[in-house]
Amino acid sequence: MSKDSFGTLFRVTTYGESHGPGLGGIVQGCPPGVALTQDTIQQELDRRKPGQGVASTGRKEADRVELLSGVFEGRTTGTAIGFHIANQDQRSRDYSDIKDVYRPGHGDFTYEAKYGIRDYRGGGRSSGRETVSRVAAGAVAQEFLKTLGIRVLAYTVEMGGIPARLVDLENAQDSPFASPDPEAVPVWEELVHKVRSQGDSLGGIVEIRSDTLSAGLGEPVFDKLDARLAYALMGVGAVKGVEIGAGFAAARKRGSENNDQMGADGFSSNNAGGVLAGISSGQPLVVRAAVKPIPSISRTQKTMTIQGSETEINIGGRHDISAIPRIVPVLKAMVMLVLADMVLLQRAVKTADKR
Amino acid sequence: MSKDSFGTLFRVTTYGESHGPGLGGIVQGCPPGVALTQDTIQQELDRRKPGQGVASTGRKEADRVELLSGVFEGRTTGTAIGFHIANQDQRSRDYSDIKDVYRPGHGDFTYEAKYGIRDYRGGGRSSGRETVSRVAAGAVAQEFLKTLGIRVLAYTVEMGGIPARLVDLENAQDSPFASPDPEAVPVWEELVHKVRSQGDSLGGIVEIRSDTLSAGLGEPVFDKLDARLAYALMGVGAVKGVEIGAGFAAARKRGSENNDQMGADGFSSNNAGGVLAGISSGQPLVVRAAVKPIPSISRTQKTMTIQGSETEINIGGRHDISAIPRIVPVLKAMVMLVLADMVLLQRAVKTADKR
Amino acid sequence: MSKDSFGTLFRVTTYGESHGPGLGGIVQGCPPGVALTQDTIQQELDRRKPGQGVASTGRKEADRVELLSGVFEGRTTGTAIGFHIANQDQRSRDYSDIKDVYRPGHGDFTYEAKYGIRDYRGGGRSSGRETVSRVAAGAVAQEFLKTLGIRVLAYTVEMGGIPARLVDLENAQDSPFASPDPEAVPVWEELVHKVRSQGDSLGGIVEIRSDTLSAGLGEPVFDKLDARLAYALMGVGAVKGVEIGAGFAAARKRGSENNDQMGADGFSSNNAGGVLAGISSGQPLVVRAAVKPIPSISRTQKTMTIQGSETEINIGGRHDISAIPRIVPVLKAMVMLVLADMVLLQRAVKTADKR
Amino acid sequence: MSKDSFGTLFRVTTYGESHGPGLGGIVQGCPPGVALTQDTIQQELDRRKPGQGVASTGRKEADRVELLSGVFEGRTTGTAIGFHIANQDQRSRDYSDIKDVYRPGHGDFTYEAKYGIRDYRGGGRSSGRETVSRVAAGAVAQEFLKTLGIRVLAYTVEMGGIPARLVDLENAQDSPFASPDPEAVPVWEELVHKVRSQGDSLGGIVEIRSDTLSAGLGEPVFDKLDARLAYALMGVGAVKGVEIGAGFAAARKRGSENNDQMGADGFSSNNAGGVLAGISSGQPLVVRAAVKPIPSISRTQKTMTIQGSETEINIGGRHDISAIPRIVPVLKAMVMLVLADMVLLQRAVKTADKR
């Protein structure tokens, strides 16, 4: 759980840049005996793939994953699972326009401040392409969670300020914009077209949910389930806020409204979002992430050169209008990685009396 | 960075329950030579002390810290700093009323689900008293950060839905409700009295800010500065949401509005909240945490017994009306712990060419 | 597993110096429901207590442990276990003789080189007194391991070059010199008297063994069981070598001699010492640690002042002649801490098919 | 620092099996600006390559490393460095002879006990081929250490019980058997031929040394420099013992002999092996690892089938007679990984007064 590693027992470590040979990672801690194939991982990657939907006009990448270790005869062996996704569409183009200029809203300035050196080709390590490794690792977590009956859903609840109704969560992830609301789709589509014509971009809000968690996951006092989820989601580029259950609205409720009272059948509401005192309660886990608009826009923007003088920049080329829906499987992957880790950590706690 | 430990290099590990002998912790990684006394730590603890302000009617605790190691002749030695805060006001009362009942909004149910055993006296480890160790550790971080010229401010920006204006950030932490707005104080006071008379409780929103960070702090791709801050703040009991810069509002902006353009003098706005691509940009760091209303209310609530039957509960006794303002120094402490750690981590990065 | 923390899931973090208020630590990850009292921990501490046996003439310390958290009604709750051992016999003496001089064989020089500041009173953090926290934590591990039927023995196999026979391992830890061989005792006693009269000191070799481990413990490729044991034992002050099974002698054997062949009843020899490819085999675990002679001797030694000039030093006062037998419970504690951690880690691996 | 990850700040995580698509890893924490090419890494890999010297008759593997990320225009960028080494000579042979049988001295039995599933092709993850990733990562550490003037040497000091003299350490690593003694070479060669004709195998002792360390490296009380080195070396397959400085011989010395006294010019001896109280002293670092004989021998051995019945096994095919000299660059790599990490950790400690 530092830098390029995420998780304690179920843990992924990643590498790779936007325009290098490829990206990939190593998943540790996946228990042995879990059915796993390249195709299963590929399905999740395909949900994140560039060039999907009207909000995406990005580069073409097949994003084919290759499994390198840790699987034998179709099952995990308990050892490290290596995977690699080759970059294909690294157009050998001229970067002289962005080499000496910081793109607003990107990490160009801060990477240079931190490291004193910067791979300026497409953002290097700070590129959104980095999330391909998160999705691949999340797909491994998903197969493990399946063996326990745990499923995670993710969908868009708001785009450009326009909300969706929670109509169909099950099919949302393969719907346009990962929308749980068929009626929101044409409205968002129209918005996307309008914003594109303005050379601008859009943000939104994504909700991730699991109805199948048992109580007891989370490791207080610092590795609380909600703390780890916040860490996981806020660590995805473009996310600027995270909330659980009633979230920010809870700050405006009275205690008598916000408390989830209980009866013989369990809780009678879920303002907590499935987590009490940092531990899952068995109620549905419900978290949301606020996604900022894509910083690459075709409008002219003011910026600074690396020499410190003012200049203007027009970011042409292939850019999505919104991180939605491609960020949806990424956020889902992060939640699954947290849950897989928490399940393993809880095993150590609860079987105290038997070996 | 797991369970009771927080941080990678600058790291605190804590112990202690509400009604045991005391609480405390161990701070590792504080560089040698930092001036540190019990009094310095005590000052921060006093800001969190029970029984302060109109929103607090809690138990009396002196919360005297004792330094146990790691300081020699008034300066840190670079070795582990142990500290202990004895519990004093553990009224030897009868717990039979809550022993077999889960208090709504508390961790009673989930601790039992997780561990199969529960210290029911005042919440045990899940009590808000646990945060006393966070504040003590944060005070150590503060002394270290001071040697670098880094200061962190924290203040209440909203209470019970009523916002404060950002008038005076410097003196906010020692103002009533940690309010940065003198005019908000009487309004909030009136609200507290009203809510108390209704046997209810209040939440609010706290902002934490630092204007003195240099660019370069944060460890992508998983230990981004904002990810660590979200982890730190969401891990504090009662926090249900975290946002940075424009936060959730960013999800509703267009890219052209949300991007912080640059000129020769640097950034011309700060929607990013001081973090770009997970690394500090040198702009003011601005994060907010949503704090839920205190779950202990004197109104009658429905709940469940540990045997699974429905019952009612009236939580009498000593309870604050709001976690604000006592949570303010706790949240500030968590941010300082993150920053101290990030500063140490950055040292390893940036001095590559010299030993 | 860094600096003052040891272990991944079953983890101890310690603090404390020779002449500060006291020493202690925090044990995380001990599963709930384990019977634990101060007395149980005290028993192990008493085995390490100063002033025991003919080789010890050290200071008097009651070394009374106080449990601060994590235990409720005689059982662990699964939360952090804090403990503290107050220093009592910190004679308020004059340190001017060692304040400006590096004692040969001690950490005075290297602590100053590392931290630029040094608590010169009795070695500060580098004192052997630090191990009191290891023993207390090991005692917690021992109670947990007992619930699984795992026992660990430790005993002296050589002292000052004179070996013991492995006659009675069970009772060794409470015998003089922790000797497994009654006949070795008077021989070693005589040696101790002779060496003391010469103003000199002695080393020895300690073996730690467990006959009750199941196969499967150890986390390749880096956290192999033997790697962790080597880390654990070499990290104890005075240990200069660690070996497992045939150890250094294996380097001189042929493969046909060293391989442990198997039959229907299992292995027919144990040159491996119970670990194959970093994982316990179910055979007895057998490790040895080489303990250097105590560096504090009453003979005159040449050394350097902190100003860099040559000087002589006579270390008077209270010093043991040998770290044996007091180091024996320390080394046993470290092995138990490793085993407790490995048991918890293995739980995550092996229950893949069930929650 | 768990399972497949090694190190705290300078950290490598690895994957890969003997007969899968390949092996590789991710190096985190290498500071930016270090010159690094595939060729530099390849040089170290070539020292470990199969089929070298008279003791090796192993399979042919080119072991070509491919750099996947973290390097831009010939210099490290401070981000994760991915690398991959494809397996080439995975002869598609019949494994039915070892599929159901545990090879003596190998991890077949324990991997099955641990994971309940086993990649039986050439040992899978437990194969010595795993060390190729360690060498590649060590080569990155080496380039970083070079920028600080730190060099590490490794050489064979004993083979099959026959010692070498320490004549020429500088050129040892490219000499036959990595021998520092030209006269030992023909003697060892003769021994190898004899042992091969007997269908047997040989072990030995390797020493690793650095004369260029400054004082101050090591993180007490658990991450002492010697503890980390023991962990690093004992974690290499075939290593059964580790010692530092006088090592096991120190257990037989008197304190007056073993103490390294000091004068105005520093230490007058080096029994400590360059580490005092877990921190480097600035003297030469000297550690040794005992390497057991290769367990794959062509003699008939008794063993057990996975069904639990007794059987015999003849391990034919391509096997080295000794892990020496191929293990020498592996052990050197592990020491360099420890040193790189310790240098980074010390940076956080020593620059307390300045940012």
Cβ D15–A26 below 8 Å, yes or no?
yes
- pLDDT at position B355: 34
Residues written for chain B: 355
Chain A contact present for B205, CB below 8 A: yes
Tell me the nearest-neighbour CA distance from A305 into chain B, angstroms. 8
- According to the 3-state scheme, what is the secondary structure of D113-179? HHHCCCCCHHHHHHCHHHHHHHHHHHHHHHHHHHCCCCCCEEEEEEECCEECCCCCCCCHHHCHHHC
Q: Please indicate if any CB of chain A lies within 8 Å of the CB of D346.
A: no
Q: Indicate the average pLDDT of chain C.
A: 93
Residue A212 CB coordination number (10 Å): 16
Spatial contact of D22 and D86, defined as CB atoms under 8 Å apart? yes
Chain D residues with beta carbon closer than 8 angstroms to that of A84: 68, 84
When pLDDT is cut at 50, 70 and 90, the band that residue D59 belongs to is low
* Cβ count within 10 A of residue D49: 18
Domain extents for chain C? 5-354
DSSP 3-state of C96: helix
* Average pLDDT, integer, range D70-86: 97
SS3 C288: strand
Question: Which chains are within 8 Å of B by 3+ CB pairs?
Answer: A, C, D
- Kindly report the nearest CA distance between residue A161 and chain C, in angstroms: 40
Q: Which of B222, B271, B303 is closest, CB to CB, to A6?
A: B222
Provide the pLDDT for residue C159: 98
- Report the SS3 class of residue D33: coil
pTM: 0.97
Q: How confident is the model at residue B352 (pLDDT cuts 50, 70, 90)?
A: very low
DSSP string, D257-304: HHS--EETTEES--TTTTEETTEE-SSPEEEEEEEPPPS--SSEEEEE
D contact residues 138-197, partner C, Cβ 8 Å cutoff: 158, 160-161, 195
The enclosing H or E element of D42 equals helix D38-48
In the three-class reduction of DSSP (H, G, I as helix; E, B as strand; rest coil), residue B242 is classed as strand
Q: Which of B2, B10, B13 to mutate to test the interface with C (most CBs of C within 10 A)?
A: B13
Using the predicted structure, report yes or no on whether residue D312 has a pLDDT greater than 80.
yes
Cβ contacts of C197 within 8 Å, gap of 6 or more = none
What gap in Å lies between CA C34 and CA C147, rounded to an integer?
8
Asked if B240 is an interface residue toward chain A (Cβ–Cβ < 8 A), one would say yes
Q: What is the DSSP letter of D78?
A: S
* Nearest Cα to Cα of residue B93 among B316, B263, B336, B250: B316
Residue D9 at interface with chain B, using a CB cutoff of 8 Å: yes
> Taking a C-beta distance cutoff of 8 angstroms, is the pair D290, D242 a contact?
yes
End-to-end CA distance of chain C: 27
Whether the per-residue pLDDT at B96 is higher than 80: the answer is no
Query: CA–CA separation, D312 vs D317, rounded Å?
Result: 16
Residues D270, C344: Cα–Cα separation, whole Å: 40
CATH code for A5-354? 3.60.150.10
Residue B235 touches chain C, beta carbons under 8 Å: no
- What are the Cα distances from residue C166, in Å, to C158, C181, C267, C282, C336? 11, 6, 21, 21, 21
Instruction: Report yes or no: C311 at the B interface, CB cutoff 8 Å.
Output: no
Q: In this predicted model, what pLDDT tens digit does every residue of B30-87 receive, in sequence order? A: 999 999 999 999 999 999 887 777 777 666 778 999 999 999 999 999 999 999 999 9
Q: Residue B42: which residues within 8 A CB-CB, separation 6 or more?
A: B64, B65
ω before B180 within 30° of 0 (cis)? Answer: no
Residue type, A2: S
A318 touches chain B (CB under 8 A): no
Nearest CA among C194, C168, C170 for reference residue C181? C168
> Which chain D positions have a beta carbon within 8 Å of C349's beta carbon?
114-115
Instruction: Please report residues of A whose CB lies closer than 8 A to that of B98.
Output: none
Q: Given a contact as 3+ CB pairs under 8 Å, which chains touch C?
A: A, B, D
Q: Which residue of A has its CA nearest to C149?
A: A355
Angle between helix B38-48 and B131-146 (nearest 10): 130
Q: Assign B275 to helix, strand or coil.
A: strand
Mean pLDDT for chain A overall? 93
Contact criterion met (CB < 8 Å) for D80 and A15: yes
Within 8 A by CB and 6+ apart from D210, the residues are D150, D151, D152, D153, D274, D284, D285, D335, D339
**What amino acid is encoded at A275 in this protein?**
V
* Cα distances (angstroms) measured from residue B161 to each of A124, A222, A251, B122, D7: 43, 28, 7, 29, 47
Peptide bond into C192 cis (omega under 30): no
How many Å apart are CA D68 and CA D25, to the nearest integer?
Answer: 10
Mention every residue, 6+ apart, whose C-beta is less than 8 A from residue B9: B28, B29, B341, B344, B345, D9, D345, D348
Contacts of D294 in chain C (CB under 8 A): 255
CA distance to partner chain C, nearest, from residue A37 (Å): 17
- Whether B31 sits inside 8 A of D347 (CB atoms) is no
Question: Is it true that the peptide bond before A221 is cis, omega within 30 degrees of 0?
Answer: yes
Amino acid at B5: S
- Cβ of D348 and B345 within 8 Å? yes
Q: Which residues of D touch C272 (CB under 8 A)?
A: 105
* pLDDT at C296 (0 to 100): 93
Q: What is the mean pLDDT of residues B324-352?
A: 93
Residue C192: HSE in the Cβ half-sphere, 13 Å Cα cutoff: 24
CB D313 within 8 A of CB D305: no
Yes or no, beta carbons of A195 and B254 under 8 Å apart: yes
Name the neighbours of A, counting chains with at least 3 Cβ pairs within 8 A.
B, C, D
Instruction: Using 50 as the pLDDT threshold, list the residues of chain C that sit under it.
Output: 352-355
Q: What is the pLDDT of residue A353?
A: 43
Please tell me which residue of chain A has the smallest CA distance to C220.
Answer: A79
Q: How far is CA D8 from the centre of its chain?
A: 18
Closest partner CB to C215 (pick from D113, D126, D280)? D113
Q: What is the greatest pairwise CA distance in chain B?
A: 68
Q: What ipTM does the predicted assembly reach?
A: 0.97
Lookup: tokens for C236: 């104890």
D94 to chain C nearest CA, in Å? 23
Burial class (CB in 10 A: 0-12, 13-18, 19+), A261: middle
* One-letter-per-residue 3-state SS of chain A: CECCEECCCCEEEEEECCCCCEEEEEEECCCCCCECCHHHHHHHHHHHCCCCCCCCCCCCCCCCEEECCCEECCEECCCCEEEEEECCCCCCCCCHHHHCECCCCCCHHHHHHHHCCCCCHHHHHHCHHHHHHHHHHHHHHHHHHHCCCCCCEEEEEEECCEECCCCCCCCHHHCHHHCCCCCHHHHHHHHHHHHHHCCCCECEEEEEEECCCCCCCCECCCECHHHHHHHHHHCCCCEEEEEECCHHHHHHCEHHHHCCCEECCEECCCCCCCEECCEECCCCEEEEEEECCCCCCCCEEEEEECCCCEEEEECCCCCCCECCCCHHHHHHHHHHHHHHHHHHHHHHHHCCCCC
pLDDT at D92: 57
pLDDT digits (tens, 9 = 90+) for B138-182: 999 999 999 999 999 999 999 999 999 999 999 998 999 999 999
Show Cβ contacts of residue B66 under 8 Å, excluding neighbours closer than 6 positions.
Answer: B38, B83, B84, B85, B86, C21
- Six token digits for residue A112: 């240079």
The string of DSSP letters for B170-218 reads TTGGGSGGG-S-TTHHHHHHHHHHHHHHTT--B-EEEEEEES-PPTT--
In angstroms, rounded to a whole number, what is the distance separating the alpha carbons of residues C64 and C87? 9
- Judge residue A264's burial from the number of C-beta atoms within 10 Å of its C-beta, 0-12 exposed, 13-18 middle, 19 or more buried: exposed
- Spell out where chain C has E strands: 5-6, 11-16, 22-28, 65-67, 71-72, 75-76, 81-86, 153-159, 162-163, 204-210, 239-244, 262-263, 266-267, 275-276, 279-280, 285-291, 300-304, 310-314
Other CB atoms within a 10 A radius of the CB of residue A166 amount to 13
Tens digit of pLDDT at every position of chain A (355 positions): 579 999 999 999 999 999 999 999 999 999 999 999 999 999 999 998 877 777 776 667 789 999 999 999 999 999 999 999 999 866 656 677 778 899 999 999 999 999 999 888 888 999 999 999 999 999 999 999 999 999 999 999 999 999 999 999 999 989 999 999 999 999 999 999 999 999 999 999 999 999 999 999 999 999 999 999 999 999 999 999 999 999 999 999 999 999 999 999 899 999 999 999 999 999 999 999 999 999 999 999 999 999 999 999 988 766 789 999 999 999 999 999 999 999 999 998 876 444 3
Q: Does D2 reach chain B within 8 Å, measured CB to CB?
A: no
